[in-house]
Structure 1
Amino acid sequence: MNVYDFKVQTAKGELKSLADYRGQVLLIVNTATKCGLTPQFKELQRLHETYKDAGLTVLGFPCNQFHQEPVQNSEMAQTCEINYGVTFPLLAKIDVNGPNADPLYKYLKKEASGFFGLGGIKWNFTKFLVDAEGRVVKRYSPYTKPLKFEAHIQKLLEQASQKKTAAR
Protein backbone atom coordinates (compact mmCIF):
# COMPACT_ATOMS: atom_id res chain seq x y z
CA MET A 1 0.00 0.00 0.00
CA ASN A 2 1.12 3.56 -0.72
CA VAL A 3 -0.34 7.05 -1.18
CA TYR A 4 -1.41 6.25 -4.75
CA ASP A 5 -3.97 3.75 -3.42
CA PHE A 6 -6.17 6.55 -2.04
CA LYS A 7 -8.95 8.65 -3.50
CA VAL A 8 -9.77 12.11 -2.19
CA GLN A 9 -12.51 14.61 -2.81
CA THR A 10 -11.80 17.84 -4.69
CA ALA A 11 -13.08 21.20 -3.47
CA LYS A 12 -15.81 20.83 -6.12
CA GLY A 13 -16.94 17.50 -4.66
CA GLU A 14 -15.44 15.26 -7.36
CA LEU A 15 -13.51 12.09 -6.55
CA LYS A 16 -9.80 12.29 -7.40
CA SER A 17 -7.42 9.33 -7.41
CA LEU A 18 -3.98 10.04 -6.03
CA ALA A 19 -2.76 7.50 -8.60
CA ASP A 20 -3.03 10.45 -11.01
CA TYR A 21 0.13 11.75 -9.29
CA ARG A 22 2.11 8.53 -9.73
CA GLY A 23 5.78 9.28 -10.33
CA GLN A 24 5.61 12.71 -8.69
CA VAL A 25 6.99 13.87 -5.37
CA LEU A 26 4.09 15.02 -3.18
CA LEU A 27 3.98 17.50 -0.35
CA ILE A 28 0.71 16.91 1.52
CA VAL A 29 -0.36 19.61 3.97
CA ASN A 30 -3.41 20.18 6.18
CA THR A 31 -4.21 23.86 5.76
CA ALA A 32 -6.37 26.63 7.22
CA THR A 33 -6.98 30.20 6.09
CA LYS A 34 -7.47 31.66 9.60
CA CYS A 35 -4.36 30.19 11.23
CA GLY A 36 -1.32 32.06 12.50
CA LEU A 37 0.75 29.79 10.25
CA THR A 38 -1.26 30.73 7.14
CA PRO A 39 1.67 32.75 5.71
CA GLN A 40 3.22 29.34 4.93
CA PHE A 41 0.91 29.32 1.89
CA LYS A 42 3.42 31.69 0.25
CA GLU A 43 6.31 29.26 0.74
CA LEU A 44 4.19 26.30 -0.36
CA GLN A 45 3.25 28.22 -3.50
CA ARG A 46 6.89 29.11 -4.13
CA LEU A 47 7.89 25.43 -3.93
CA HIS A 48 5.00 24.56 -6.25
CA GLU A 49 6.02 27.15 -8.83
CA THR A 50 9.71 26.32 -8.63
CA TYR A 51 9.44 22.52 -8.87
CA LYS A 52 6.12 21.62 -10.52
CA ASP A 53 7.81 21.06 -13.88
CA ALA A 54 10.43 18.86 -12.18
CA GLY A 55 7.72 16.64 -10.68
CA LEU A 56 6.58 18.18 -7.36
CA THR A 57 2.91 18.53 -6.49
CA VAL A 58 1.75 20.31 -3.36
CA LEU A 59 -1.66 19.09 -2.15
CA GLY A 60 -3.55 21.18 0.40
CA PHE A 61 -6.20 19.59 2.58
CA PRO A 62 -8.17 22.24 4.48
CA CYS A 63 -9.18 21.25 7.99
CA ASN A 64 -11.39 22.95 10.58
CA GLN A 65 -10.58 20.62 13.49
CA PHE A 66 -8.48 23.40 15.00
CA HIS A 67 -11.29 25.94 14.38
CA GLN A 68 -9.31 27.91 11.83
CA GLU A 69 -11.01 26.96 8.56
CA PRO A 70 -14.64 27.98 9.08
CA VAL A 71 -15.42 28.81 5.45
CA GLN A 72 -16.81 26.56 2.74
CA ASN A 73 -14.53 24.90 0.16
CA SER A 74 -15.26 27.43 -2.61
CA GLU A 75 -14.59 30.45 -0.39
CA MET A 76 -11.45 28.86 1.04
CA ALA A 77 -9.98 28.24 -2.41
CA GLN A 78 -10.79 31.80 -3.48
CA THR A 79 -9.23 33.24 -0.30
CA CYS A 80 -6.02 31.27 -0.87
CA GLU A 81 -5.80 32.34 -4.49
CA ILE A 82 -6.48 36.03 -3.81
CA ASN A 83 -4.42 36.44 -0.62
CA TYR A 84 -1.53 34.06 -1.30
CA GLY A 85 -1.53 33.39 -5.05
CA VAL A 86 -2.16 29.68 -4.46
CA THR A 87 -2.43 27.67 -7.66
CA PHE A 88 -1.59 24.21 -6.27
CA PRO A 89 -4.53 21.84 -5.69
CA LEU A 90 -6.66 22.53 -2.63
CA LEU A 91 -8.97 19.63 -1.97
CA ALA A 92 -12.18 19.30 0.05
CA LYS A 93 -12.14 20.08 3.74
CA ILE A 94 -11.40 16.97 5.82
CA ASP A 95 -10.83 15.77 9.36
CA VAL A 96 -7.25 14.74 10.08
CA ASN A 97 -7.83 13.27 13.55
CA GLY A 98 -10.48 11.23 15.30
CA PRO A 99 -13.02 8.68 14.12
CA ASN A 100 -13.90 10.67 11.00
CA ALA A 101 -10.30 11.25 9.92
CA ASP A 102 -9.83 10.92 6.19
CA PRO A 103 -8.37 7.50 5.29
CA LEU A 104 -5.38 9.19 3.62
CA TYR A 105 -4.52 10.96 6.86
CA LYS A 106 -4.91 7.77 8.87
CA TYR A 107 -2.35 6.23 6.53
CA LEU A 108 0.01 9.23 6.62
CA LYS A 109 -0.01 9.30 10.43
CA LYS A 110 0.68 5.56 10.57
CA GLU A 111 3.60 5.85 8.16
CA ALA A 112 5.13 8.92 9.84
CA SER A 113 3.89 9.07 13.39
CA GLY A 114 5.61 12.30 14.35
CA PHE A 115 7.25 13.55 17.51
CA PHE A 116 7.67 10.76 20.08
CA GLY A 117 5.56 8.49 17.87
CA LEU A 118 2.32 10.05 19.09
CA GLY A 119 0.68 10.01 15.67
CA GLY A 120 -2.03 12.67 15.84
CA ILE A 121 -1.91 15.88 13.88
CA LYS A 122 -1.20 18.60 16.44
CA TRP A 123 -1.98 21.67 14.33
CA ASN A 124 -2.56 23.05 10.87
CA PHE A 125 0.31 22.97 8.38
CA THR A 126 1.67 19.57 9.36
CA LYS A 127 3.50 18.49 6.23
CA PHE A 128 4.13 15.01 4.77
CA LEU A 129 6.75 14.51 2.07
CA VAL A 130 6.09 11.57 -0.25
CA ASP A 131 8.60 10.21 -2.75
CA ALA A 132 7.87 9.44 -6.40
CA GLU A 133 7.12 5.81 -5.46
CA GLY A 134 4.24 6.92 -3.21
CA ARG A 135 6.10 6.26 0.07
CA VAL A 136 5.90 8.67 3.00
CA VAL A 137 9.50 9.66 3.67
CA LYS A 138 9.23 12.50 6.17
CA ARG A 139 6.80 14.36 8.38
CA TYR A 140 7.44 18.02 9.21
CA SER A 141 5.92 19.91 12.11
CA PRO A 142 3.51 22.80 11.58
CA TYR A 143 6.26 25.19 12.65
CA THR A 144 8.81 23.95 10.12
CA LYS A 145 8.61 26.39 7.26
CA PRO A 146 8.41 24.72 3.83
CA LEU A 147 11.58 26.34 2.46
CA LYS A 148 13.57 24.80 5.35
CA PHE A 149 13.31 21.38 3.68
CA GLU A 150 13.64 22.48 0.06
CA ALA A 151 16.93 20.55 -0.23
CA HIS A 152 15.11 17.33 0.74
CA ILE A 153 12.54 17.98 -2.00
CA GLN A 154 15.34 18.60 -4.50
CA LYS A 155 17.00 15.32 -3.53
CA LEU A 156 13.76 13.35 -4.02
CA LEU A 157 13.16 15.02 -7.38
CA GLU A 158 16.72 14.18 -8.45
CA GLN A 159 16.26 10.54 -7.43
CA ALA A 160 12.99 10.35 -9.38
CA SER A 161 14.65 11.88 -12.43
CA GLN A 162 17.55 9.40 -12.25
CA LYS A 163 15.12 6.46 -12.05
CA LYS A 164 13.23 7.71 -15.10
CA THR A 165 16.50 8.11 -17.02
CA ALA A 166 17.68 4.63 -16.03
CA ALA A 167 14.35 3.10 -17.06
CA ARG A 168 14.70 4.41 -20.63
Structure 2
Amino acid sequence: MNKISQIEVIMRICAAVVLYLALIASPHITMAADDTDGSLFQSSPNGCLAPLDQSMRALHSADQHNLCELSKGKVVMVVNTASQCGFTGQFADLENLYQTYQDQGLVIFGFPSDSFRQEYEDEEATAEVCFRNFGVSFPMMATTAVRGDDANSVFAALHSATGQAPRWNFHKYIISADGQTISSFGSRVNPSSTEITEVIEAALAAR
Protein backbone atom coordinates (compact mmCIF):
# COMPACT_ATOMS: atom_id res chain seq x y z
CA MET A 1 0.00 0.00 0.00
CA ASN A 2 1.54 3.35 -1.04
CA LYS A 3 1.62 6.46 1.11
CA ILE A 4 -1.33 8.12 -0.63
CA SER A 5 -3.63 5.12 -0.26
CA GLN A 6 -2.68 4.77 3.41
CA ILE A 7 -3.72 8.38 4.00
CA GLU A 8 -6.99 7.78 2.18
CA VAL A 9 -7.74 4.76 4.38
CA ILE A 10 -6.97 6.72 7.54
CA MET A 11 -9.18 9.60 6.38
CA ARG A 12 -12.05 7.21 5.66
CA ILE A 13 -11.69 5.59 9.08
CA CYS A 14 -11.69 8.99 10.77
CA ALA A 15 -14.78 10.04 8.80
CA ALA A 16 -16.57 6.85 9.84
CA VAL A 17 -15.70 7.44 13.50
CA VAL A 18 -16.95 11.02 13.33
CA LEU A 19 -20.20 9.87 11.72
CA TYR A 20 -20.72 7.19 14.39
CA LEU A 21 -20.13 9.67 17.19
CA ALA A 22 -22.57 12.09 15.59
CA LEU A 23 -25.19 9.34 15.45
CA ILE A 24 -24.97 8.40 19.11
CA ALA A 25 -24.07 11.69 20.74
CA SER A 26 -27.24 13.65 20.09
CA PRO A 27 -27.44 16.53 22.57
CA HIS A 28 -29.79 16.69 25.52
CA ILE A 29 -32.72 18.88 24.63
CA THR A 30 -35.84 19.78 26.57
CA MET A 31 -38.95 20.83 24.69
CA ALA A 32 -41.50 22.86 26.64
CA ALA A 33 -45.04 23.73 25.59
CA ASP A 34 -45.78 27.30 24.60
CA ASP A 35 -48.74 29.28 25.90
CA THR A 36 -50.97 28.52 22.93
CA ASP A 37 -51.81 24.87 23.50
CA GLY A 38 -50.65 24.26 27.08
CA SER A 39 -48.85 20.97 26.46
CA LEU A 40 -46.85 19.02 23.96
CA PHE A 41 -48.97 15.95 24.66
CA GLN A 42 -52.64 16.58 25.35
CA SER A 43 -54.54 14.42 27.82
CA SER A 44 -56.92 11.81 26.47
CA PRO A 45 -60.49 11.30 27.76
CA ASN A 46 -59.08 8.39 29.78
CA GLY A 47 -56.89 10.74 31.80
CA CYS A 48 -53.49 9.82 30.39
CA LEU A 49 -51.35 11.50 27.74
CA ALA A 50 -52.86 10.95 24.30
CA PRO A 51 -49.94 9.05 22.68
CA LEU A 52 -50.02 6.61 25.60
CA ASP A 53 -53.75 5.96 25.44
CA GLN A 54 -53.33 2.49 23.98
CA SER A 55 -52.26 -1.04 24.77
CA MET A 56 -49.22 -2.75 23.30
CA ARG A 57 -48.20 -6.38 23.33
CA ALA A 58 -45.69 -7.30 26.01
CA LEU A 59 -42.31 -8.71 25.03
CA HIS A 60 -42.39 -12.45 24.26
CA SER A 61 -45.97 -12.71 25.49
CA ALA A 62 -49.56 -12.62 24.35
CA ASP A 63 -50.33 -10.24 27.22
CA GLN A 64 -50.91 -6.54 26.68
CA HIS A 65 -49.40 -3.58 28.51
CA ASN A 66 -52.05 -0.89 29.04
CA LEU A 67 -49.82 2.16 28.66
CA CYS A 68 -52.59 4.51 29.76
CA GLU A 69 -53.19 2.81 33.10
CA LEU A 70 -49.48 2.32 33.71
CA SER A 71 -48.58 5.95 33.02
CA LYS A 72 -51.57 7.94 34.27
CA GLY A 73 -50.34 10.81 36.44
CA LYS A 74 -46.74 9.61 36.25
CA VAL A 75 -43.44 10.80 34.85
CA VAL A 76 -42.64 8.55 31.90
CA MET A 77 -39.29 7.50 30.47
CA VAL A 78 -39.41 5.91 27.02
CA VAL A 79 -36.30 4.13 25.74
CA ASN A 80 -35.54 2.05 22.65
CA THR A 81 -33.39 -0.96 23.54
CA ALA A 82 -31.32 -3.60 21.78
CA SER A 83 -29.78 -6.82 23.07
CA GLN A 84 -26.59 -6.83 21.01
CA CYS A 85 -25.46 -3.24 21.42
CA GLY A 86 -22.48 -1.71 23.16
CA PHE A 87 -24.98 0.12 25.36
CA THR A 88 -26.93 -3.01 26.38
CA GLY A 89 -25.38 -2.77 29.85
CA GLN A 90 -27.59 0.29 30.40
CA PHE A 91 -30.40 -2.16 31.18
CA ALA A 92 -28.87 -2.49 34.65
CA ASP A 93 -28.83 1.29 35.12
CA LEU A 94 -32.40 1.62 33.84
CA GLU A 95 -33.55 -1.04 36.30
CA ASN A 96 -31.74 0.73 39.17
CA LEU A 97 -33.40 3.99 38.12
CA TYR A 98 -36.79 2.31 38.08
CA GLN A 99 -36.29 0.76 41.51
CA THR A 100 -35.19 4.12 42.91
CA TYR A 101 -38.04 6.24 41.58
CA GLN A 102 -41.01 4.02 40.78
CA ASP A 103 -42.65 4.54 44.18
CA GLN A 104 -42.33 8.30 43.64
CA GLY A 105 -44.18 8.15 40.33
CA LEU A 106 -41.75 7.16 37.56
CA VAL A 107 -42.54 4.50 34.97
CA ILE A 108 -40.14 3.28 32.29
CA PHE A 109 -41.33 1.81 29.01
CA GLY A 110 -38.78 -0.23 27.08
CA PHE A 111 -39.15 -0.78 23.34
CA PRO A 112 -36.81 -3.43 21.90
CA SER A 113 -36.03 -2.54 18.32
CA ASP A 114 -34.05 -3.83 15.38
CA SER A 115 -34.09 -0.42 13.71
CA PHE A 116 -30.30 -0.36 14.08
CA ARG A 117 -29.79 -4.05 13.30
CA GLN A 118 -28.76 -4.99 16.85
CA GLU A 119 -31.79 -6.88 18.15
CA TYR A 120 -32.52 -10.59 17.90
CA GLU A 121 -35.20 -11.75 15.48
CA ASP A 122 -36.45 -14.15 18.17
CA GLU A 123 -38.27 -12.37 21.00
CA GLU A 124 -37.40 -15.23 23.32
CA ALA A 125 -33.73 -14.31 22.98
CA THR A 126 -34.52 -10.66 23.60
CA ALA A 127 -36.54 -11.55 26.69
CA GLU A 128 -33.65 -13.70 27.95
CA VAL A 129 -31.34 -10.69 27.85
CA CYS A 130 -33.84 -8.31 29.43
CA PHE A 131 -35.43 -10.41 32.12
CA ARG A 132 -32.88 -13.07 33.01
CA ASN A 133 -29.54 -11.38 32.32
CA PHE A 134 -30.47 -7.94 33.66
CA GLY A 135 -33.52 -8.59 35.84
CA VAL A 136 -35.63 -5.94 34.12
CA SER A 137 -38.96 -5.41 35.89
CA PHE A 138 -40.26 -2.32 34.09
CA PRO A 139 -42.69 -2.89 31.18
CA MET A 140 -41.04 -4.11 27.98
CA MET A 141 -42.96 -4.07 24.71
CA ALA A 142 -42.75 -6.46 21.79
CA THR A 143 -40.02 -5.71 19.27
CA THR A 144 -40.95 -2.76 17.08
CA ALA A 145 -39.54 -0.06 14.81
CA VAL A 146 -38.65 3.25 16.47
CA ARG A 147 -37.71 5.53 13.57
CA GLY A 148 -38.73 6.21 10.00
CA ASP A 149 -42.07 5.57 8.38
CA ASP A 150 -42.50 2.29 10.28
CA ALA A 151 -41.94 3.77 13.74
CA ASN A 152 -44.56 2.77 16.29
CA SER A 153 -47.06 5.45 17.28
CA VAL A 154 -45.35 6.35 20.57
CA PHE A 155 -42.00 7.07 18.92
CA ALA A 156 -43.67 8.82 16.00
CA ALA A 157 -45.36 11.17 18.49
CA LEU A 158 -42.10 11.76 20.37
CA HIS A 159 -40.28 12.53 17.14
CA SER A 160 -43.01 14.95 16.12
CA ALA A 161 -42.97 16.72 19.51
CA THR A 162 -39.20 17.01 19.93
CA GLY A 163 -37.84 16.92 16.39
CA GLN A 164 -35.53 14.13 17.54
CA ALA A 165 -35.85 10.53 16.46
CA PRO A 166 -33.48 8.01 18.05
CA ARG A 167 -30.10 8.01 16.30
CA TRP A 168 -29.05 4.80 17.99
CA ASN A 169 -30.16 2.29 20.60
CA PHE A 170 -30.93 3.43 24.15
CA HIS A 171 -32.17 6.89 23.27
CA LYS A 172 -34.19 8.20 26.20
CA TYR A 173 -37.18 10.53 26.42
CA ILE A 174 -38.52 11.80 29.74
CA ILE A 175 -42.10 13.08 29.62
CA SER A 176 -43.53 15.17 32.44
CA ALA A 177 -46.76 13.94 34.01
CA ASP A 178 -48.73 16.84 32.50
CA GLY A 179 -47.17 16.47 29.04
CA GLN A 180 -45.81 20.03 29.10
CA THR A 181 -42.14 19.08 28.80
CA ILE A 182 -40.21 16.32 27.08
CA SER A 183 -36.47 15.87 27.58
CA SER A 184 -34.49 13.90 25.02
CA PHE A 185 -31.15 12.22 25.76
CA GLY A 186 -28.76 10.47 23.37
CA SER A 187 -27.47 6.96 23.83
CA ARG A 188 -24.25 7.96 25.55
CA VAL A 189 -26.06 9.66 28.43
CA ASN A 190 -26.21 6.99 31.11
CA PRO A 191 -29.54 6.53 32.91
CA SER A 192 -27.78 6.96 36.26
CA SER A 193 -26.18 10.28 35.26
CA THR A 194 -26.93 13.44 37.22
CA GLU A 195 -28.15 14.96 33.95
CA ILE A 196 -31.02 12.48 33.84
CA THR A 197 -31.78 12.12 37.55
CA GLU A 198 -32.09 15.88 37.94
CA VAL A 199 -34.71 16.01 35.18
CA ILE A 200 -36.62 13.10 36.72
CA GLU A 201 -36.57 14.56 40.21
CA ALA A 202 -37.75 17.96 38.97
CA ALA A 203 -40.58 16.33 36.99
CA LEU A 204 -41.61 14.21 39.97
CA ALA A 205 -41.65 17.27 42.24
CA ALA A 206 -43.87 19.11 39.77
CA ARG A 207 -46.54 16.38 39.52
Determine helix, strand or coil for the equivalent of 2:173. Answer: strand
1:33 aligns with 2:80: no
Gaps of 5+ in 2: 1-41, 43-49
Offset of residue 74 of structure 1: 3.0
- Report the structure number with the largest CA radius of gyration: 2
Aligned-partner residue type, residue 100 of structure 2:
T
Other-structure match for 2:24: none
Deviations 1:23-48 (A, max 9, x none): 11111000001000111111101100
Q: C-alpha distance in 2, partners of 1:15/1:57?
A: 16
Pick one of 56, 59, 66 that aligns with 1:8: 56
Shift of 1:73: 2.4
Deviation track 1:109-149 (CA, whole Å, cap 9, x = no partner) reads: 111123xxxxx321000101011124551111111111121
- Which sits farther off after the overlay, 102-111 or 17-26? 17-26
2:135 to 78, 85, 91: 85
Q: Is the 8 A contact 1:22 1:134 kept in 2?
A: no
Structure 2 CA distance for partners of 1:16 and 1:80, relative to 1, 3 Å: closer
Contact 1:111/1:136 (<8 A) preserved: no
Give, as a single letter, the amino acid of the residue that structure 2 aligns with 1:96: V
Q: Is the 8 A contact 2:77 2:173 kept in 1?
A: yes
TM-score when normalising by structure 2? 0.69
Query: Unpaired segments of 5 or more residues in structure 1?
Result: 115-119, 161-168
2:173 maps to: 128
Query: What's the C-alpha RMSD, in Å, of the aligned pairs?
Result: 1.6
- Write the distance in 1 (CA, Å) between the matches of 2:139 and 2:65: 11
Query: TM-score, normalized by length of structure 1?
Result: 0.84
Aligned to 1:76: 126
C-alpha contact (below 8 Å) 2:51/2:153 kept by paired residues: no
Indicate the SS of the match to 1:59: strand
- Residue aligning to 2:158: 108
Q: CA 1:15–1:81 in 2, change beyond 3 Å: closer, same or farther?
A: closer
